């Protein structure tokens, strides 16, 4: 049985501007890390200010650590000649939480649908090749609650399992917030649930980069 994917690929910073030329038309490509549609809109608005004489701002984005949300936009180009070729490159590079925009200046010669598809695909590919792509793990977060006498037991398990402590409170009792890789989450939950005088609670955390 195939195990559930618990990693994703993304970028941490925007690409440098790239330029692809085809029969007089110029295609400027950009890639940005994003975690919301609001960020997508901001980047596109900024590009429209930078390229105020361009007519086409075609783009595709993918959001979510499980690659669950995406959109492609042709922005006035023939249907599926721009947004989908850009999105195809997001799939090819297997990246998420990312926006790729290709800004076109028309050069006077029509490229045809086939020419447009190739040009937008190439500009998107160049932008993504210009990024440092990293792989991140999908983690689940748990809260551990225990009293001071159990500290050594808890710390030993955390060390043996190589688990990160995200946050901790040391007051009358102890609270550790821990991040566990998704594929190990169920096993770690049971491990602590069966540890005497240690309480473990699953935490719901919003999506983040």
Give pLDDT tens digits for 56-88. 999 999 999 989 999 999 999 999 999 999 999
Average pLDDT for the chain: 92
For residue 164, the model assigns a pLDDT of 87
For residue 208, the model assigns a pLDDT of 42
For residue 2, the model assigns a pLDDT of 43
Binned at pLDDT 50, 70 and 90, residue 145 comes out as very high
By C-alpha distance, which of 122, 134, 92, 126 is closest to 16?
126
List the Cα angle 196/199/204 in 5-degree steps: 155
Query: What mean pLDDT is predicted for residues 2-25?
Result: 88
For residue 203, the model assigns a pLDDT of 77
pTM more than 0.85:
no
For residue 209, the model assigns a pLDDT of 40
Query: What mean pLDDT is predicted for residues 143-166?
Result: 94
Residue 204 pLDDT > 90, yes or no?
no
* Calpha distance 130→195 (Å, rounded): 48
């Amino acid at each position: 049985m195939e195990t559930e994917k618990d990693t994703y690929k993304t970028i941490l910073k925007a690409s440098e501007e790239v330029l692809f030329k085809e029969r007089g038309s110029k295609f400027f490509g950009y890639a940005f890390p994003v975690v919301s549609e609001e960020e997508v809109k901001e980047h596109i608005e900024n590009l429209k200010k930078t390229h105020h004489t361009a007519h086409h701002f075609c783009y595709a984005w993918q959001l979510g650590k499980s690659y669950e949300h995406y959109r492609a936009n042709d922005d006035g180009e023939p249907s599926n000649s721009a947004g989908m070729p850009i999105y195809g490159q997001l799939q090819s590079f297997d990246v998420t939480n990312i926006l790729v925009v290709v800004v076109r200046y028309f050069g006077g010669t029509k490229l045809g649908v086939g020419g447009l598809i190739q040009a937008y695909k190439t500009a998107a590919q160049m932008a993504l090749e210009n990024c440092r792509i990293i792989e991140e793990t999908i983690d689940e977060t748990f809260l551990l609650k225990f009293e001071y006498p159990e500290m050594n037991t808890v710390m030993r398990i955390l060390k043996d399992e190589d688990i990160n402590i995200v946050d901790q409170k040391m007051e009358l009792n102890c609270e550790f917030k821990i991040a566990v890789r998704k594929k190990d989450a169920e096993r770690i939950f049971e491990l602590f649930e069966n540890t005497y005088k240690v309480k473990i609670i699953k935490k719901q955390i919003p999506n983040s980069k």
